[in-house]
A and B are shown apart, each in its own frame.
Chain A
Amino acid sequence: MRFFISLVLIIFILLGTRLAYLQVIRHETYWMQAEENRLRILPITAPRGEIYDRNGRKIVTNRPGFTVSLVDLGDGYSDAMIAELAGLLEMEKEEIRDRIRAQFFRRWLPIRLKIDVPMEIVAVIAERRMELPGVLIEVQPIRNYLHGNFASHILGYLGEGTVADWVEEHWQQYGYYYRAGELVGQAGLELAWEPFLRGKDGGIQVEINSTGQAVAKFEGVDPQPGHDVHLTIDLPLQLAAEQALNETVERLQAEGNDDAGEAAVVILDPQSGRILAMASLPAFDPNTFRRDFPRLREDRRRPLVNKAIEGHFPLGSTFKMVTAFAALEEGVVSHDELVRCAGVITRYGATKACFRRRAHGAINIVEAIAKSCNIFFYEMGLRVGIDNLARYSRDFGFGSPVGLQDIFGERRGIVASRELKRELLNEPWFPAETMDASIGQGFQSSTILQLANYIAMIANGGIHYRPYLVEKIVNHQGETVKLAAPEILRYVEARPSTWESIRQGMIAAALPGGTAARLAALPVSIAGKTGTAQVVGGDSPTPLPPHHLFAAYAPVEQPEIALAVFIKHGGTEGAPAVRVAQQILEHYFKTAPAAEAVAEGEGEETF
């Protein structure tokens, strides 16, 4: 025991000696330091990872910007100073006070008041340094979206708003623990890939003088830049798609269609699931998002919604290949069976018609696809029955998300079925509804990504690849930390003759006599299908123009792209969706714009 007591005594004497050294000998030094209380940490924001297109073209980068912060000098803040800052920074006084309060327990860190302050304001603040003690100007990286509202729904935007719990949990899986108030991705890739894009902030211990300027620096940590994201997106193709959509929608509006304005395009590589382009109108500019937000929020066309994945719509006649596929695979029709189309049909008490009640006469399945004959597909729908039709719809990826994980928000859409109707309305199924379902109307509803994916499946012979946007993630040292690979989610088997008939119908649609005949001028062979989706309801007194759709793949022999175009309330006049597709295909296959061809049989109607 004596040994232990001596040991304890030695330890206590050691502690006491050190105390005497600090509190008696060095007292003066430390007392000065405490009086000044000038030791702070200045965080250094890590630059976010950059975003590139598939060929390494830069899409999103960072530029230096000025951040105005407040350093706590220990004597509080005068009302006059807060008022002056509020005026200079165009902020509410209360907002500044809130930020000061929010950081009360972390007073050794500067309070960030405003990022990306314009040069002129920074100059004024620098001039009045003496009147604004503790105001600190730092240079920090600011996100720079090089092409403005280019691909805004894919890229997303940054903000300081709180994020949903599930987003926080998702980020935690990748090692990022979010703290309220941090500048983080709020949508698109910026949100989904936040843990990769954001780097690790650094910082430095500094001693500040009485005005809040750093006069001495101690040890610190360098910031680590975030990882770069390389996309599957092809920048020129995406630009072409957005331009085509914009021009078409503007033309529709100029022609007096006030309901037009929302539209979407999805372009897939049918051999891999890579998304080459995905555009949604109206778009927004992530650079000025904060300023534009009040306007964006009010816009009834909902610019913040990605129309390609976050909305689902009736596909109209673009759906007819599912019905054709079901009929051929179930063996209820042969490749050359002729069905008579009189323009109008009355079955089960419902009278339904072809476009403009035009009679197609005796027509086989290939012609029916090419000319989009409703009567033929009503008949096919009734022959296979709703249960089979629902099953084949699901086989083509309808009714559930097609698996895009690189950005969030993909909707599942709706597949018309007995179960659905019972669940929704608690009513039995009527055969007349099968007729609607078989031409992509009625209950049927899908995302534009689902439409593109189903066209890609027709192009590649039934393989459902997971659509993806992120090709690889590269860290700052240039090492690839994550590399995507095509992933097959589903394989739909069918007789080769079934695929053949469907493709022949789609090829014929894009030839003279077909519904998308204007594409015949293109130098490559195209397989396509138009669609017009009637809109039921709506609160306007006049009926809303129908949605116009077009889906296609090309070249037929060796499909490189599968695309889906959707013009909400585009109407059939001038086949706007086909025009958009034409512009995109012209760009892709590097041809001069075709001469304005007046096509026959353009557009169609579904009742």
Chain B
Amino acid sequence: MFDRRLLKNFDYPLLLITLAICCYGLIVLSSATQGLSSDPLFFVRKQATWIGFGVVAILLAISIDYVNFYRWSLYFYALNLLSLGLVLFFGRDMGGARWLDLIFFDFQPSELAKLIVIITLARLLADCRERVNRFWSVWPFFLHIVPVILLIMLQPDLGTALVFVIIFFAMLYMAGIPVGHLAIIVAAGIAALPLFWLQLMDYQKMRLLVFLNPGMDPLGYGYQLRQSIIAIGSGGISGKGLYEGTQARLQFLPEQHTDFIFSVLGEEFGMLGAVLLLVLYFCLIYRILKIGAFAKDSFSALVCTGVASMITFQILVNVGMAIGIMPVTGLPLPFMSYGGSSMLTNMLAIGVILNMGMRRQKIQF
């Protein structure tokens, strides 16, 4: 099944960059979780386990020809709706997003849903390639993504829902849908917002308002934001050094090992450390897009676009939040934030991309 010759096109830099970011994340996490548990390495060990599982996920993802992902697309889609539906009924609410209890660990289906939507939407777009120029041929893509977004909105997890919107438009653009058509869709979407607003429960409206304006929640998000900016700003160019961050050390930063891990990094490693991470991320996204550019079929090109837009958007929102230019959402920083579902999904996504990269040419005999 696995042919050695496939390794000829294997993108080692992409794998190495991914693992480098993961290791960087572990180091920062070890600082962010100091004192959170009686065992100082509790969170680090768990996160390392997730990385381990992630590597296994990568190996699994590259061992099967990605054509199978294309073939199984329909099943993936059904599984996606099923798991997102289940979480609404059996999910555990742990502050915002919801988890499914899979006995051995709590799984967040909305994380995996991102990757599944990328694959299923890529197939749909690839299949309809000839017709994308006509305006009304856009509607099947809509029908495809709207149920998923609605299910996630119901959780309610507006941040994650927004990731899907970004992925959707990036892939539609990549598929060659005229920009004018996309603009009309966006305009129609904005026009429909008031209708959507009326359907929301009071507490959902409140969350949305706070999401748009954290100043409305000064004792929660507002406070976090102020502390995060102080942490990053105080780090300066070279940072205070690992385990030396006073903000992080004093536990004044809520959620610093998940949503606000970048604040800890900014404080302890300074601008040099933060920029290093951004450079690593840029290289990662660049490699993904490069694989997309050299892809042998439009399906894999679309998947690469989807994954790149997913990762970029999450970085933009998470880092943007930590430095005060984006609203506060619960979006994790890829490969850095503590959490199994997000780590596994992102690793699996990298595996799919690596798979597409190494099978981009017919095997040379």
Chain A contacts to B: CB under 8 angstroms: 1, 3-5, 7-9, 11-12, 14-16, 18-20, 22-24, 26-27, 29-31, 33-35, 37, 39, 41, 43, 72, 74, 104-108, 202-205, 218-221
Contacts and interface: CB of A to CB of B under 8 A. Distances in A.
A22 B232 contact: yes
Most buried by B among A24, A27, A204: A27
Interface stretch (B153-161, B221-229, B354-362): B221-229
Nearest to A220: B218
Most buried by A among B234, B237, B308: B234
B206 interface: no
A214 to B, nearest CB: 15
B323 A37 contact: no
Contacts of A4: 170, 174, 289, 305, 308-309
Contacts of A106: 251
Contact of A34 (B231, B305, B309): B231
A23 B286 contact: no
A19 B234 contact: no
A78 to B, nearest CB: 18
Contacts of A3: 173
B320 A74 contact: no
B282 A19 contact: no
B275 to A, nearest CB: 6
Contacts of B247: 34, 37
A12 B282 contact: yes
A16 B292 contact: no
Interface string B70-81: 000000000000
Interface residues of B, number: 53
B275 A19 contact: yes
A23 B230 CA distance: 10
B234 A18 contact: no
Interface of B: 35-36, 170, 173-174, 215, 217-219, 222-223, 226-227, 229-237, 246-247, 250-252, 266-267, 270-271, 274-275, 278, 281-282, 285-286, 289-290, 292-293, 305, 308-309, 312, 315-316, 319-320, 323-325
A72 B325 contact: no
B218 A9 contact: no
B233 A41 contact: no
Contacts of A104: 35, 251
A218 B223 CA distance: 10
A41 B221 CA distance: 12
Contact of B229 (A22, A108, A203): A22
A307 B230 CA distance: 59
Contacts of A202: 219
Determine chain A's interface SS by DSSP, over half rule.
Answer: helix
A23 B218 CA distance: 24
16 contacts: A1-B289, A5-B289, A8-B286, A8-B289, A15-B320, A18-B320, A23-B232, A23-B271, A33-B230, A39-B223, A39-B230, A41-B219, A43-B219, A74-B250, A104-B251, A205-B223
Given A19-B271, A23-B274, A30 B229 contact: yes
Contacts of A18: 320, 323-325
B251 A221 contact: no
A347 B312 CA distance: 94
B149 to A, nearest CB: 22
Contacts of B285: 8
A465 B192 CA distance: 51
Given A24-B236, A27-B236, A205-B222, A16 B275 contact: yes
Contact of B246 (A26, A37, A105, A204): A37
A16 B252 contact: no
A74 B252 CA distance: 10
A37 B250 CA distance: 9
A27 B229 CA distance: 10
A277 to B, nearest CB: 39
A39 B233 contact: no
Given A30-B234, A205-B226, A19 B323 contact: yes
A471 B237 CA distance: 65
B281 A12 contact: yes
A23 B274 CA distance: 10
A74 B229 contact: no
Contacts of A12: 278, 281-282
A522 B103 CA distance: 72
Contact of B282 (A8, A26, A31, A205): A8
Most buried by A among B174, B252, B267, B289: B252
Contacts of A31: 233-234, 236
Contact of A219 (B215, B251, B281, B312): B215
Nearest to B305: A4
Which 3 interchain pairs have the tightest Cβ spacing? A30-B233, A34-B234, A219-B218
Contact of B323 (A22, A27, A72, A218): A22
Contacts of B278: 12, 15-16, 19
A5 B286 contact: yes
A218 B230 CA distance: 15
A105 B251 contact: yes
Contacts of A204: 218
B323 A20 contact: no
A242 to B, nearest CB: 43
A5 B325 CA distance: 22
A401 B292 CA distance: 72
A195 to B, nearest CB: 15
A35 B231 CA distance: 10
Contacts of A108: 223, 227, 252
Contacts of A219: 215, 218, 222
Nearest to B316: A11
Contacts of A15: 278, 315-316, 319-320, 323
Contacts of B319: 15
Given A1-B293, A8-B312, A107-B252, A23 B320 contact: no
Most buried by B among A19, A105, A202: A19
Nearest to B270: A23
B266 A19 contact: yes
Contacts of A24: 236-237, 271
